[in-house]
Amino acid sequence: MKSLEHTLGKEYTITPAGGSTGEAYFAKSETKSLFLKRNSSPFLAVLSAEGIVPKLVWTKRMENGDVITAQEVLDGRELTPEEMKHPKVAKLLSKIHHSTELLDMLMRIGKKPLKPKEIFIELKKSVDQNSVEMVHTEIHQGIDYLEKMLPDIDSDMQVVCHCDMNHNNWLLSGNGQLYLIDWDNARVGDPAMDIGTVLQSYIPENEWNYWLESYGVEKNKQLINRMYWYLIAESISYINWHNSRFEKKEAAQRLKELKRLIQRVSEY
């Protein structure tokens, strides 16, 4: 904190921005507000250039080797769950998934494509390592489904996936510009990972065709299969994670979601 105050000068008041890492701050002066982050990925510069995140104002290397980035603080707000239906969301996500610049940069900094077979092997291993009382019937059903569908869901499409499609990460500026923030979980993989989360969490099924049309694809069985594959894999992963932390309430909630997903795929 002191090094930040020294770098910015006395005219700025610096306060923690919250978050799990404790590496983000707000800096405010009489004329300017900045969002500061310590040791952000170089990926941030490309996201800013593409207009995906608020503008990157400057990057500075500190004496201790840390790199501080400063972004504009928007006069705006987070999207509501209802607003996730808007075509703007679908179009921005499509822009991200089709950006060769974003993909090149993420690959350059060492992110390798996330393959379904690798996901399945790790997931099955973690389930097998759990105590018997923690492994519910639905988890076994989910693992069986993932294994059965594995040959059918491998996709040649490898894009930049945000992997955290929560509506709180979508920001609408005062002038109507939409941004997607918090890229710490970004991976290279199947766009169905992001698409499935948005559709399952925010879009009524009778509106999926319209949303996908805004994104730029048609609803088809192969896409739906891939979506549900990743959604089920994610649910099982979260159940294991909550169980490992003895968070019974959260694990039970994720188990309910898994039951719903298994029910849905049985209807297709």
Region of poorest pLDDT, from 32-41, 72-81, 225-234: 32-41
Q: What is the pLDDT of residue 126?
A: 85
When pLDDT is cut at 50, 70 and 90, the band that residue 80 belongs to is very high
On whether the CB atoms of residues 83 and 167 are closer than 8 A, the answer is yes
Q: Known catalytic residue: 164?
A: yes
- Phi, psi for residue 48 in degrees, rounded to 5: -65, -45
**What tokens appear for 236 in the block?**
């099982």
* Closest by Cα among 164, 247, 182, 186 to 19: 182
| Run of H or E including 264 | helix 248-267
Task: Indicate whether 132 pLDDT > 50.
Answer: no
Could you give the strand order of the β-sheet that contains 76-78, starting from the edge strand earlier in sequence? 76-78, 170-173, 178-180
Q: What is the pLDDT of residue 2?
A: 55
Separation CA 72–CA 166 (nearest Å): 21
Domains (range + CATH), the chain:
2-73 (3.30.200.20), 82-267 (3.90.1200.10)
Surface-to-core class of residue 141, CB atoms within 10 Å of its CB (0-12 exposed, 13-18 middle, 19+ buried): middle
pTM over 0.75: yes
Separation CA 198–CA 215 (nearest Å): 12
pLDDT in tens, 192-224: 999 999 999 999 999 999 999 999 999 999 999
When pLDDT is cut at 50, 70 and 90, the band that residue 19 belongs to is low
Q: Which of 66, 128, 164, 190 is catalytic?
A: 164
pLDDT in tens, 173-190: 999 999 999 998 999 999
